[in-house]
């Protein structure tokens, strides 16, 4: 966008006409708009209000200082140039001071002869040097330094600036159209979210119950007619009541690690072994010492997969086991962003509130006054 900046140029006038011309040219070449009220008489309060208004409308402020202090406002005792500088600082305008170098030998006509003004000028220069400040020796040197300094200042502290009215209208229309399109996108996303939220309400989740089925297989080998017949029948189906949150606690860490189904089934078996072991012992004692194996029923693992996909916690990537004979054992459950948060919370280490409560009790007990000691002390006194 073609943005132009207004820059207020403050200085004394009579002694810096050549230098001001260089500065104005430098600013115009940067497509900036120079403004300077020292060209007008500044002897009235009405004129000062006009000066402050122009400073307020400007984007940046620069002051040129050489050997003259300038005309003094009788009510403040300061020159109008110094008053402009102080006003620009108070208004929060980015300011740069340009002070003539001490090595420059100024003619008498361009130097203060009044001792009081020379003292005020020295104090003014000292104030300007506490802020961003450059030194110059010739008018061309001043113009070059103003050009470089303003370019750097605009990059470092970009201001609002001015643009042509027709460009502003076109830009505003484009901005409004962009915002309208974004509003439509957000409304569609919100509508989709609401539909999904309503549908999720009807899905089992969280503390809702679910029953996993584990199968006890017994490996047998039977010899018939010089052949060995191997069988691995299911001799016991073991139901294990659980919840969807507990399932997430059982397998969440595996899903977050790599999500391979073979490892997920192993995690299921480890987590629920406390339920499975007693059931096998009581319902199917192994008197023949046959080789046995417990496996999660395929219907259970399928239902868990479908449920977590429907809830938006995982997606399924079957490509990992595509070239393997037992491909379903090697498929991968990939957590979504919601799933990462959900499984992470279900498997994270929780604070031990019992220990915290015990610490609190111990501190309270330690700070409690010892009545026996207090009574003994009173008796002695």
Q: What domains does the chain contain, in order, with CATH numbers?
A: 6-166 (3.40.50.10140), 209-349 (no CATH)
Q: In terms of Cα–Cα distance, which of 155, 133, 159, 158 is closest to 146? A: 133
Q: Is 221 helix (H, G, I), strand (E, B) or coil?
A: strand
| Residue, of 80 and 291, whose pLDDT is higher | 80
Residue with tokens 């901005």: 175
Q: Name the token pair of 134.
A: 């450059």
Q: Is 334 helix (H, G, I), strand (E, B) or coil?
A: strand
Give tens-digit pLDDT for 219-272: 777 777 667 777 778 888 889 999 999 999 999 999 999 888 889 999 999 988
Q: Which of the four pLDDT bands, split at 50, 70 and 90, describes residue 110?
A: very high
**Beta bridge pairs of residue 95:** 61
Q: Which residues contact 235 (CB under 8 A, 6 or more apart)?
A: 216, 217, 218, 284
Q: For residue 110, give the H/E element and its range.
A: none
Q: How far apart are the C-alpha atoms of 64 and 24, rounded to whole Å?
A: 12
Strands 209-224 and 291-296: antiparallel
pLDDT at 351: 80
Which segment, 246-255, 292-301, 330-339, 358-367, is predicted with the most confidence on average? 246-255
Q: How far apart are the C-alpha atoms of 63 and 38, rounded to whole Å?
A: 11
pLDDT at 267: 92
pLDDT at 172 over 90: no
Q: Which of the four pLDDT bands, split at 50, 70 and 90, describes residue 14?
A: confident
CB 238 within 8 A of CB 279: yes
Q: How far apart are the C-alpha atoms of 296 and 374, rounded to whole Å?
A: 67
Helices (runs of H) and strands (runs of E) counted in the chain? 14, 11
- Please state, in angstroms and as integers, the Cα–Cα distance from residue 228 to each residue in 219, 220, 232, 289, 292, following that order: 13, 10, 13, 19, 18
Query: Is the four-CA dihedral 40, 45, 51, 53 of positive or negative sign?
Result: negative
Q: Name the token pair of 261.
A: 């189904």
**Beta bridge pairs of residue 239:** 213
Which segment, 17-21, 273-277, 292-296, is predicted with the most confidence on average? 17-21
Residue with tokens 């005792």: 77
Query: Is the four-CA dihedral 275, 277, 281, 286 of positive or negative sign?
Result: positive
| Residue, of 349 and 66, whose pLDDT is higher | 66
Cβ burial, residue 313 (10 Å; 0-12/13-18/19+): buried
Residue 50: φ, ψ to 5°:
-65, -40
CB 124 within 8 A of CB 82: yes
Q: How far apart are the C-alpha atoms of 213 and 249, rounded to whole Å?
A: 18
pLDDT at 322 over 50: no
């Amino acid at each position: 966008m073609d943005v132009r900046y207004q820059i207020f140029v403050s200085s004394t006038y009579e002694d810096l006409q050549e230098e001001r011309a260089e500065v104005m040219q430098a600013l115009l070449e940067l497509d900036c708009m120079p403004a300077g009220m020292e060209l007008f008489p500044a002897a009235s309060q009405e004129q000062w209000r006009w000066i402050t208004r122009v400073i307020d409308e400007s984007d940046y402020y620069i002051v040129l200082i050489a050997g003259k202090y300038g005309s003094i406002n009788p009510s403040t005792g300061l020159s109008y140039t110094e008053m402009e500088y102080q006003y620009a600082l108070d208004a929060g305008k980015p300011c740069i001071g340009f002070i003539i170098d001490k090595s420059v030998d100024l003619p008498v006509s361009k130097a203060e002869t009044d001792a009081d003004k020379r003292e005020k000028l020295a104090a003014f220069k000292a104030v300007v040097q506490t802020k961003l400040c450059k030194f110059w020796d010739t008018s061309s040197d001043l113009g070059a330094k103003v050009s470089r300094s303003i370019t750097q200042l605009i990059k470092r502290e970009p201001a609002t600036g001015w643009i042509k009215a027709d460009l502003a209208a076109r830009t505003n229309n484009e901005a409004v159209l962009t915002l309208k399109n974004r509003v439509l996108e957000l409304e569609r996303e919100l509508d989709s979210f609401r539909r999904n939220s309503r549908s999720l309400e009807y899905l089992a989740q969280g503390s809702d119950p679910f029953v996993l089925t584990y199968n006890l297989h017994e490996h047998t080998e039977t010899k018939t007619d010089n052949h060995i017949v191997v069988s691995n029948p299911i001799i016991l189906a073991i139901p294990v009541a659980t919840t969807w949150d507990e399932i997430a606690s059982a397998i969440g860490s595996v899903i977050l690690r790599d999500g391979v189904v073979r490892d997920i089934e192993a995690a299921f078996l480890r987590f629920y072994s406390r339920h499975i072991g007693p059931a096998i012992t009581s319902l199917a004692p192994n008197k023949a010492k046959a080789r046995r194996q417990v496996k999660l029923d395929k219907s259970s693992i399928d239902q868990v997969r479908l449920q977590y996909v429907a809830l938006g916690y995982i997606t399924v990537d079957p490509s990992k086991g595509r070239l393997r004979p037992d491909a379903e054992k090697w498929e991968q459950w990939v957590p979504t962003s919601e799933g990462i948060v959900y499984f992470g919370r279900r498997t994270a280490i929780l604070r031990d509130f019992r220990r915290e409560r015990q610490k609190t009790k111990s501190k309270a007990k330690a700070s409690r006054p010892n009545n026996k000691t207090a009574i003994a002390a009173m008796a002695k006194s």
